[in-house]
Structure 1
Amino acid sequence: MSSVVIVSGSPSLSSRVNAFIDYSLQYMVGRGFAVKTVNVSELPAEDLVRANFASAAIQEKVRWVEAAQAVILVSPVYKASYTGVLKLFLDMLPQKGLERKIVLPLFVGGSMAHLLSIDYALKPVVSALAGRHILGGVYGVDQWIQRTENGFAMTEELTVRLAASLEELASELERNAAVADPVRAERRLP
């Protein structure tokens, strides 16, 4: 079974990016993938800031990323880029920490002015970590995600775009699994 790690770079546990996280988690689990979530803001701050590679809490999350076939990077956009919290975690990954992984970026910003933050801020760092299979990702605007009593609700257009990106991710994972184990993949066919 392919595994996916969702990495939340939000410093707030009540951020609108949780709409992306919750939807992605449900979607990928519904497709039969094992999914783990890393909330970077819950890791020991001093260990992150001081780049304490010996931190047991950080080592565990890094191992999750190392074992995953796909990584979903989720972040609010601040000052035209992803958060420093996410950057601190990415700095803890090994030099080739995203090699042979499918990476899906999901960002939420205050306006369309920072639409290209995925391309200009995140993709170079993912590439420096040997990530070569970076999907287009989804950029949403705060107004497209409303707080509700039960969490968050996204506009229909944003939901459709997110579902399409997750479908692309799921299809890529299934294709990779079929190449890695053709006999097992054949048994799954109807």
Structure 2
Amino acid sequence: MNILLLSGSPSNPSRSTRLLHHVGDRLNELGYRTARVQARDLPAQALLHADFNNDELRAAKALVAQADAVVVSTPVYKAAYSGVLKTFLDILPQDGLSGKLVLPLATGGSQSHMLALDYALRPVLASLAAKHILPSIYATDAQIEWSEEYGLNIDTTIAQRITEGISHLTHSLIALRNQGNNFDAVQFTQLRCSA
């Protein structure tokens, strides 16, 4: 099964992209094929003008279409996901995530921005017809640290959430494959809030 790692960070490097790549590496270790799209690397003019004839945009959209699951990451600014991610999601067809599992990841300066995933990003992903949006993983900047000497250091609480998120994603992919795409919808009351 194919998993797309979609980075919505306008910065390079960024904590949200490092978190995304960490999750991607863990998925690769489990035998999943991953592809990567960094929205910031797509041609800005083509994105802003929704140039559907642009080869790079078409290639990025094709990766979305081929994926069984999408892990999307974004930094949170002013209680919202990034503008570059919004611009990329806007060029997808109305059913651009149809039949796909989605695992949202985000980083932000403080816990006060954590609900941005549930109140800002989740409705957009749902409007794109995602089959199932898994519980979000949110980390503060203090919980994701990088050093040239030691690499990525993830707080134990977030590391546990990542392990749970990967487990949930892999079990959901297996269930999706085994049920021939007859995946049962999850009731809203069963969803956990981001923490």
TM-score, length-scaled by structure 1: 0.91
**In structure 1, C-alpha distance between the alignment counterparts of 2:53 and 2:131, rounded to whole Å:** 28
Note the C-alpha offset of 1:132. Answer: 3.7
Q: Return closer, same or farther for 1:151/1:46 CA change in 2, 3 Å cut-off.
A: farther
Matched, 1:111 2:110: yes
* Partner of residue 39, structure 2: 40
Matched, 1:29 2:23: no
Matched, 1:122 2:121: yes
Note the C-alpha offset of 1:179. Answer: 2.3
Q: Is the 8 A contact 1:147 1:153 kept in 2?
A: yes
**In structure 1, C-alpha distance between the alignment counterparts of 2:173 and 2:105, rounded to whole Å:** 18
* Partner of residue 174, structure 2: 174
**In structure 2, C-alpha distance between the alignment counterparts of 1:100 and 1:72, rounded to whole Å:** 14
**In structure 2, C-alpha distance between the alignment counterparts of 1:44 and 1:37, rounded to whole Å:** 16
SS at match of 1:22: helix
Q: Which amino acid aligns with 1:165?
A: G
**In structure 2, C-alpha distance between the alignment counterparts of 1:178 and 1:29, rounded to whole Å:** 21
Q: Point out where structure 2 has 5 or more consecutive residues left out of the alignment.
A: 182-195
TM-score, length-scaled by structure 2: 0.89
Q: Which amino acid aligns with 2:52?
A: F
SS at match of 2:78: coil
- In the TM superposition, 1:7-156 aligns within 5 A as 7-149=6-148, 151-156=151-156
Q: Is the 8 A contact 2:105 2:136 kept in 1?
A: yes
Q: Tell me which moved more, 10-19 or 63-72.
A: 10-19
**In structure 1, C-alpha distance between the alignment counterparts of 2:17 and 2:152, rounded to whole Å:** 8
SS at match of 1:6: strand
Q: Tell me which moved more, 61-70 or 20-29.
A: 20-29
User: Percent identity among equivalent residues?
Assistant: 37
Write out the 4+ residue segments of structure 1 that deviate beyond 6 Å after TM superposition: none
Count of aligned positions = 180
Note the C-alpha offset of 1:151. Answer: 3.6
Note the C-alpha offset of 1:163. Answer: 1.3
Q: Is the 8 A contact 2:65 2:96 kept in 1?
A: yes
Question: What is the Cα-based RMSD across aligned positions, in Å?
Answer: 1.3
Q: Point out where structure 1 has 5 or more consecutive residues left out of the alignment.
A: 182-190
